[in-house]
Amino acid sequence: MMIITQKITSLAYEIHDGMFRKDEELTPSQRGLAVRRMPSLLEYLSYNCNFMGILAGPLCSYKDYITFIEGRSYHMTQSGEDGKEEIQYEKTEPSPNIAVTQKLLVCGLSLLFHLTVSKTLPVQYNIDEHFQATASWPTKVIYLYVSLLAARPKYYFAWTLADAINNAAGFGFRGYDKNGAARWDLISNLRIQQIEMSTSFKMFLDNWNIQTALWLKRVCYERASFSPTIQTFFLSAIWHGVYPGYYLTFLTGVLMTLAARAMRSNIRHYFMEPPQLKLFYDVITWIVTQIAISYTVVPFVLLSIKPSFMFYSSWYYCLHIAGILVLLLLPVKKTQRGRNTHEKIQLSRSKKFDEQENSLGQNSFSTTNNVCNQNQEIASRHSSLKQ
């Protein structure tokens, strides 16, 4: 049901962008997925209810799905001699066998890890009274990281299996890399290596549940008029369900994301040179990121509000307090998206002002003409009376 909800809203926005908005009003991602015509009933039902993604997804755009169904996903595009015209030619359909085999191997290892290691390291043990009373702080930190690390393979298994099913049907081909190898990651939902080696909160989120993150970006973040980060996290919480743990996780995620963004923009450039200093910075940020992620998602696993607050209180809300202090003490730079939005607003205002001036000029010109015409009529009447 969650996948179908995503597909319906995604298709609605793709049609709206393609049929009711101008290209200059769209972001590059919106422009690339815009649908220029209404789909037929068969196309609509096929997109929402196809057997490959009806249970576990992953989400795909309508444009990518129809391109696959019509057999155009293997057509390569090349610029013409004038640099403007595009010539399409069909390349031999690549085999997905290697990609499917690799992903099934990842599924097997993830399932084995989940059935063995994950059960011996439950997340619930973080709020065990005996553990909280006897464990030292380093032990608590290490167990928090390891228990959440052990909780991730079940997601790796489900999303990788869903991706492999689509690839086996021929869906998910993105093109060829610089070495000429076929890429089957068009609708992949995660990148395990980047997740486990994330050195920032953003890097983790960009590689976790990728298709849902892109959906949230298209339908909320790029369209929000204010506080896009807060609105996007809140929408994600609503989409996941009604458990209080979801809302605690995503509200904490807002704070962690904003604090990490402020830290990175104010500190990172001091550690780029020499390479040894950058390596030190990467190691420290990896440790901090993994602890912050684990701290944030504990309520997502516990679901209930009482155990979630028991965990946060056992940590004395230390990362919440640290995040608030970072936002209060460090200057927050305006993001590129904010600048682009401001520029678009100014551009639209200037266009409207120019249009108003043009319309006023035309109105005054027509008014002057009317007055002159009226004076000419009165003069001709006087002359006729005199005659």
Which run of H or of E encompasses 72?
none
Q: Largest Cα–Cα distance in the chain?
A: 119
pLDDT value at residue 75: 62
Total number of domains constituting the chain: 3
pLDDT tens digits along 159-206 = 999 999 999 999 999 888 888 888 999 999 999 999 999 999 999 999
Terminal Cα distance for the chain, rounded: 89
Angle between helices 244-267 and 305-314 (to 10 degrees): 40
341 in a structural domain: no
Phi, psi of 39 (to 5 degrees): -70, 155
Q: Confidence class of residue 152 from pLDDT cuts 50, 70 and 90?
A: very high
242 in a structural domain: yes
209 belongs to the catalytic site: yes
Residues 303, 207, single domain; the answer is: yes
- pTM, whole model, 2 decimals? 0.80
Angle between helices 153-168 and 97-120 (to 10 degrees): 160
CB-CB neighbours of 300 under 10 Å: 22
Residues 12, 67, single domain; the answer is: yes
240 belongs to the catalytic site: yes
Residue ending a domain, choose from 25, 57, 72: 72
- List the domain range (segments joined by +) for residue 18: 1-72
Residues 196, 279, single domain; the answer is: yes
Residue ending a domain, choose from 314, 333, 352: 333
Residues 164, 244, single domain; the answer is: no
Cα 171–chain centre separation: 21
Find all residues with CB under 8 Å of 324, minimum gap 6, and list them: 255, 259
156 in a structural domain: yes
88 in a structural domain: no
- DSSP state, 113? H
356 in a structural domain: no
Residues 176, 296, single domain; the answer is: no
Residue ending a domain, choose from 333, 348, 376: 333
Q: Confidence class of residue 81 from pLDDT cuts 50, 70 and 90?
A: very low
pLDDT tens digits along 109-142 = 999 999 998 889 999 999 999 999 999 999 999 9
| Distances from the Cα of 267 to the Cα of 216, 264, 281, 288, angstroms | 29, 5, 10, 14
Residues 125, 51, single domain; the answer is: no
Long-range CB pairs of 40-46, under 8 A, 24+ apart, other chains included: 43/69, 44/11
Q: Which of the following is catalytic: 240, 320, 342, 382? A: 240
Q: Which of the following is catalytic: 48, 167, 207, 209? A: 209
Residues 201, 161, single domain; the answer is: no
379 in a structural domain: no
| Distances from the Cα of 289 to the Cα of 93, 263, 303, 325, angstroms | 41, 12, 22, 17
338 in a structural domain: no
229 in a structural domain: yes
